[in-house]
Every structure is written in structure tokens, then in C-alpha cells.
Amino acid sequence: MYQQTKEEQEEIQQKFDNLLKSCSRSDKNDKEQITKAFKFANEAHKGIRRRSGEPYIFHPLAVAIIVTNELGLGTKSVISSLLHDIVEDTDYTIEDIEHLFNKRIATIVDGLTKLSNIFDTNTSIQAENFRKLILTLSDDVRVILIKLADRLHNMRTLSSMPANKQLKIAGETMFLYAPLAHRLGLYTIKTELEDLSLKYRQPEIFKEIKSKINNSEERRNFIINKFSLPIINKLTDQGFKFNINGRSKSIFSIWQKMQTKNIPFEEVYDQFAIRIIFDTEQGENEKTKCWNIYSIITDIYIPRPDRIRDWISKPKANGYEALHATVMGPTGQWVEVQIRSKRMDEIAERGYAAHWKYKGINSQETELDNWIKKIRELLENPQSDALEFLDEFKLNLFTSEIIVFTPKGQTIQLPKRITALDFAYDVHTEIGNHAIGAKVNHKLVSLNHVLKSGDQIEIITSEKQQTQREWIDFITTAKAKHAIKSAFKEERKKNILKGQKILNEKLKELKLHPTANIYRKLFSYYNTDNKNSLYNKIGLQNIEVKSLKKILTKKSKNKLIRYWQLQSTRSSNRKLIEKGKIQKSEGINVDKKKPLIISEDFEEKTYKIAKCCNPIPGDDIIGYQSDKSTIIIHKTNCPNAIKLNSSFANKIVKAKWTTHKALSFLARIKIDGFDKMGLVNKITDVIYKDLNVNMRAINFESHDGIFEGYIDLYVHNTTDLNNMIMNLIKIKGIDSVKRIEVSE
């Protein structure tokens, strides 16, 4: 136990007095509660010191000051900040907090306590803790805001930590906290977190850029003053009430630009920005005033047309509103000008807290509200995998947004690189499930078409359409992935129940009871390794039970055969690995003596189809076991497969298909013939209507009465493809139809 010195006690009291002064919105009763929380925390942390040697109470006080000064939060948040480490570091409980204060404060402190071990060494625990963190976002955003304040103070005092801890904490900050601050509109905190993270991850680079910024300060001030003076005079003459200042870009943003553009510090032309913050009277239109100021500036300086950023008509997803323009300054240098009202500036600096303060002024929900709703939707899925949620949430933190339009002109903000199918699922799950295509800017496109900002999208649906398994390969959003996987999980459940019923009825007909011996024979014969997989295949009609009697009465020539395809114990696996009979790679056990069974079971898929040759069921295939936990399937005659076979024979495994009736594979056919009126319609009718095959792309060209066409389509196997080719060749005017290689 450490005793506080008299000087430390005086400093603690001074810090607390500063905190009370900063709580200007708190009334007498609120300040009494804050004082009570401070005394309680100070007593609870008495004798405890931080690694820096200072009394521990310095930290909760610093977090509380950040919360009120830099985030603008109220009394409950200040009290919760003072108490945020009590439960984790002392013998007091959440129940004690609730008894001494109230339930809401206890809930916030509880949320903060649960977040203390987010970055655990165990990945799955880390992901689950992260999920709990985001759960608090949808419950009470103050938990996240206080946590960010806590992280900011820890980063400000990181120098007292050992070097390895500095790197770990700085890495975590860049991985999660800075993007989270950005998403919540906390620009100032996000910028400082990025700079501090760079300071500890790349100390030499940080020092060098900081030194160059300091050395160029005199010239920068000269440019700012020379640039600003004509604008100040014009705006004053026009009767505007405003402030104008020049701000240097952050060290991290300058370094980032140097990296992305591969240029030195001296060539980063926008090292600073001019910010104009204007006052508005009640009832004045902020948007109009922004454009009026823009008009005045561009009367003085020539604008760069490609660098206008209008975030007043459509704010950013984090609530940021401003009008940005880049103009040529008097010294021959491009200068960025940011125009915003006082309200916009407060939201830009204080983010979510200020956004909430002004919420009543604008009755419409902001994109930030919509984003939190989407996160809540993810969290409401009880079957959501924690690691998958972590990936999807990271995607939503880091991804830039695009704005697209519905057919009626409504705007929707979505991540970049989104597809038409993602858009369909964003509108409604049922629209996504029944989508067959889309019209983008009135032009027909496929569901995997990547959207661009400004596109207008109409989704085309059909009640006959069912969710396709290949969709999972190109959709990007968590909502779409969850909807598709849920559809297949539900379908699999139904098939398992259906298959179980069919099998039991057949066994009853044969006067047999389902025993372990019967299942072993069925597993061995049908290349399955558990009951659900067997039932699923029967339900999908991939397995006919007509010949069940013959299979069950047939004596096995080799009693040990079942061990290669049934579940085995860990000990037997280890023995087989030691003998070299089984090759193990990140959880996949492959028997070198038996072919790998390529199943279409969505839940148990451990392979990928090689994009260089796109084999389909019926093709002769081999598997290549890469360093990852997936086996890549090639055609045996694929040039890449031949090359792999010659170079990595030890990683090549035998493979064979089971019957595929649910999963579709990409194939390409080439059609030649004589150009005749209506021929293309006849071809597509045969493919789509008669054979019910989905086409992905179609391309026909005609020259001098001869046509040549290529069609990419999804088929179940080579038999289906050959039947289709035979049907197409019967069409009058077609000379030849053949399958050709397709690579993506």
C-alpha cells in the first residue's frame, strides 16, 4: 500500500476542482453526486498507483475531464468515468454501485467492466468480448464513448509502459479504437489516437514528420494569413459572423498520404486546411449560407472542380456535415477550405454526443442512427458466429460509403464494393431471397454487379427463385451473408427431417431397426460420416433408398474400410499421421489411400473450386492441399494441376465427386451457327425455360450471316451440361455447341 503525499493530495484536489468547473451544465444536486463519486473512487483506489508511479485516481479524473470537456457528456457519464475501474480493481461490486448511486450508472459501469479483456490471447474469447462491446453500443452508447476516453488517456500516458506493451496497445488502438472513434464522428479523438499510435509504432517517422511540420510553421502561417485576409474582408462586408482559422493536417494523415502516393513530405500539398465556422440566426438556412460563402471564396480564388465535397446535402455516415472546396491560393498552392456552421462544427469535433444534442432540431434519422440499427440487427441474431461478427463489424468500420438510389429516388448509404444482391438484401430479406437480376440506371445487370455511387437500382424478383449457394461467393454485407446462411440452415434442417423420415419408413418396410451396424454400412456406401449428412443427402434426393436391402445384405470385403470415412478418435488419427498414412493440415485429415469426397454439404465444405479451370461434377479431378485449411480442386488435365503434380506431389490428393443436385457450378459453352431472326431467343428459352438453368453472362456476335456466341451458366454436373448441349444442337441454324474452359 502506498500513501499519498501532501503534494499528491493537493494535486488530486486541484484536478477534481477543474473537473467540477468543466461541468457547467450540472446543477447543485448533480455536482453533489459527482463529489460523492469522486470521494468514493478516491477512497477505493487509495494506496494503488499506476505504472508511472502516480496515484491511480489521476486516471479516472483524467477520463472524466475528457468526457465532459472533449465529448460534452453530462453528469451520469462523468460519475461513471470516475467509477469505471472500481469493480475491476477493488472489492466493490456492481450491486454496491447501484445501491450508492442508481441503476443506470451501475449499468454503464458494468458495461465498462466487461470490456476490460477485449484483446484476449484466445481469439474466440476476444471476438466474443468484442461482440459484447458492440452490444453496449446499441444499448447505451455512453459506454463506448467513455471507453474511448479511457483509451485516449491511456495512449497519452503510454510512455510509462514497457516497449512490448506500447506496441500491443498502439496496435489495438489502430485496429479498433481509432476507426470506432471515426465512425462515431469523434474527429478530434480519432486524429489524436492515430497520431499517438504512429508515435509508438513508428517513432522515427513520427519525430521526422513532426519536426518538419514545426520547421514549416512560420511559412505556413504566412500562407494562411495571406490567403485568409481577402476572404475575411469580403465576408465581413457581407455581414457574416464567423471565425476563420488554419489547421495543420495530422501527422498520421500526412504520413498516410506520403505512403499511398509514394511522395516525400514536401510534395504533400494539402498540409493544412482553412476552416470557416459561421453563426446562424434562428430559422436561417445553413445549407444556403454554406454555398453563399463558397460563392464568395470562388470569386476570389479559382476552385478545383474535382475537389468539391458536399456533405451538407448528404452527411457522412458518422454525422459529419460540411462543404469542402479546394482553391488555388495566392502563393500558387492548392488550399482546402472547410465551410461549416457552429452546429456542424460541434458535431464534427464532439461526434455522437453533439449529434444527439441536436437530434430534436432535425426529425429525420441520420446515417449514424441507421448504422447503429444495422449493428443491432446483427446482434439480435442469436446464432451469429462471434469471429464472423468481428470480421463484418471491422468491414463496416473501415469501409468507405457510397450513396445509391431506389427506383423512387430515395437514397441509401452502403459500403463500397457492394453488389446488386447486397442492395436487395439491404432493402428486405425476402427481396434478396427471390432476386433474379437488377436494373442499374435502367440497364439490366446480374446480381453480382458492383454498384457505384450515384447508381439507381431496381431489383427484379420472381416467386420461383430460390436462394442460390453460389451467391455467398460474391456478396459482401453481413446482412446478406446472414440471410443466405440462415436460408440454407433452414433448408438443411428440413432435408434432414425429410431424409430421416424416408430412411425410417424404408427400414420399417424391410422390417429392420436402425442400428449402429446399419449406419456404418450406409456411411461407407454413401461416403458420409454422420447421420445428419446421410439424412440430408436422402432429403435432397441425392441418395435413392430403393436399393437399401441390397446394400445392407452385402458383405463387406474389407471390414476396416469404414474407418477411413467414419469419424475416428483423436488417438487413432495421431497414429495414422505418425505412420504417414494421413496428412494433416490445419484441421483437415486426408487419407492418401482413399479419394477425398467432394460433398455439396454447405455446413461441411472444406474445399474450393480452382478458378483457373472451374471443374464441375463429372470431371476427373485432383485436390491440392495448400497451406490454408482448404483443399483446392482442379481438373486433372488443368495446366496448373499438372504443374502442381510435378512440383508438390506430396500435397496432391485423390478426389471424386458425390452426386450434386443443390449446388451449381460455373461452366461456359461456345455456340456457332447461321444468323437467323429469333435464334438467340430460342437458345435462351431452351436454357432457361425448358432446362431451368441459370445464366450468368451471354455474348453473341454476328458477321456476314455467321454468328458466334459464348454463354456462362450454372449447372449441377457434366450430365446436365451434356443434356443441354444435345438440346441446343437440335435448334435449326446451330452448327456446333461445345464446352470450353472458363477462368475468372
Grid cell 502442381 in the structure block, residue: 644
Task: Tell me which residues are annotated as active site.
Answer: 88-89
Task: Kindly state the average pLDDT of the residues 209-225.
Answer: 87
Q: CA quadruple 344, 350, 351, 353: dihedral positive or negative?
A: negative
Q: pLDDT-derived band of residue 153, with 50, 70 and 90 as boundaries?
A: very high
**Percent share of the chain, pLDDT over 90:** 14
| DSSP state for residue 55 in the 8-state scheme | B
**In whole angstroms, what is the distance from residue 419 CA to residue 442 CA?**
16
- Whole-Å CA distances, 663 to 424, 609, 613: 22, 12, 18
3-state secondary structure 476-489: CCHHHHHHHHHHHH
* pLDDT of the residue at 121: 41
- The per-residue pLDDT of the chain, averaged, comes to 78
* pLDDT of the residue at 374: 60
* pLDDT of the residue at 276: 94
Q: Which residues, listed in sequence order, are joined to residue 695 by a DSSP beta bridge?
A: 713
* pLDDT of the residue at 139: 58
Task: Kindly state the average pLDDT of the residues 494-511.
Answer: 84
SS3 499: helix
* pLDDT of the residue at 420: 92
Burial of 402 (0-12, 13-18, 19+ CB in 10 A): middle
* pLDDT of the residue at 357: 52
Q: pLDDT-derived band of residue 70, with 50, 70 and 90 as boundaries?
A: confident
* pLDDT of the residue at 555: 52
pLDDT for 640 beyond 70? yes
Per-residue pLDDT of 433-459, as tens digits, reads: 999 888 988 888 888 899 988 888 999
Which grid coordinates are listed for 631?
A: 483443399
* pLDDT of the residue at 649: 66
Q: What strands lie across the sheet with 309-310, from one edge to the other? A: 242-248, 272-278, 334-341, 323-328, 309-310
Beta-strand runs (E) in 448-559: 457-461
Which grid coordinates are listed for 487?
A: 436460408
Q: pLDDT-derived band of residue 681, with 50, 70 and 90 as boundaries?
A: confident
* pLDDT of the residue at 26: 77
Amino acid at 597: I
Which grid coordinates are listed for 179?
A: 476507426
* pLDDT of the residue at 300: 93
* pLDDT of the residue at 8: 82
Range scoring the smallest mean pLDDT among 36-50, 248-262, 614-628, 691-705: 691-705
Task: Write down the pTM of the prediction.
Answer: 0.56
In order of their start, the domains of the chain are: 6-210 (1.10.3210.10), 213-357 (3.30.460.10), 585-663 (no CATH), 665-740 (3.30.70.260)
**In whole angstroms, what is the distance from residue 462 CA to residue 433 CA?**
9
| DSSP state for residue 603 in the 8-state scheme | G
- Cβ atoms of 48 and 103 within 8 Å: the answer is no
Task: Kindly state the average pLDDT of the residues 2-30.
Answer: 83
Per-residue pLDDT of 572-595, as tens digits, reads: 444 444 444 444 444 456 666 677
Task: Kindly state the average pLDDT of the residues 603-608.
Answer: 64
Task: Kindly state the average pLDDT of the residues 54-63.
Answer: 90
Q: pLDDT-derived band of residue 566, with 50, 70 and 90 as boundaries?
A: very low
Per-residue pLDDT of 523-553, as tens digits, reads: 777 777 778 888 888 877 767 777 777 777 6
User: What is the DSSP annotation of 610-623?
Assistant: -TTT---BTB-EEE
- Whole-Å CA distances, 364 to 282, 368, 402, 410: 19, 11, 20, 13
**In whole angstroms, what is the distance from residue 645 CA to residue 379 CA?**
46
* pLDDT of the residue at 130: 56
* Interaxial angle between packed helices 187-201 and 141-156, expressed in degrees from 0 to 180 and rounded to the nearest 10: 40
Task: Kindly state the average pLDDT of the residues 169-188.
Answer: 81
Higher pLDDT, 6 or 156: 156
Higher pLDDT, 22 or 643: 22
Q: Tell me the pairing of strands 694-703 and 706-715.
A: antiparallel
Q: pLDDT-derived band of residue 124, with 50, 70 and 90 as boundaries?
A: very low
* pLDDT of the residue at 242: 92
Q: Which residues contact 213 (CB under 8 A, 6 or more apart)?
A: 248, 251, 254, 271
**In whole angstroms, what is the distance from residue 399 CA to residue 328 CA?**
31
* pLDDT of the residue at 667: 86
**In whole angstroms, what is the distance from residue 649 CA to residue 703 CA?**
47
* pLDDT of the residue at 356: 55
| DSSP state for residue 350 in the 8-state scheme | H
* pLDDT of the residue at 340: 93
Task: Kindly state the average pLDDT of the residues 633-642.
Answer: 81
Per-residue pLDDT of 371-402, as tens digits, reads: 566 655 555 554 445 445 555 555 555 456 77
Task: Kindly state the average pLDDT of the residues 40-51.
Answer: 86
* pLDDT of the residue at 571: 43
Q: pLDDT-derived band of residue 561, with 50, 70 and 90 as boundaries?
A: very low
* pLDDT of the residue at 607: 76
* pLDDT of the residue at 493: 87
pLDDT for 360 beyond 50? no
Q: pLDDT-derived band of residue 23, with 50, 70 and 90 as boundaries?
A: confident
Q: Which residues, listed in sequence order, are joined to residue 701 by a DSSP beta bridge?
A: 708
Q: pLDDT-derived band of residue 507, with 50, 70 and 90 as boundaries?
A: confident
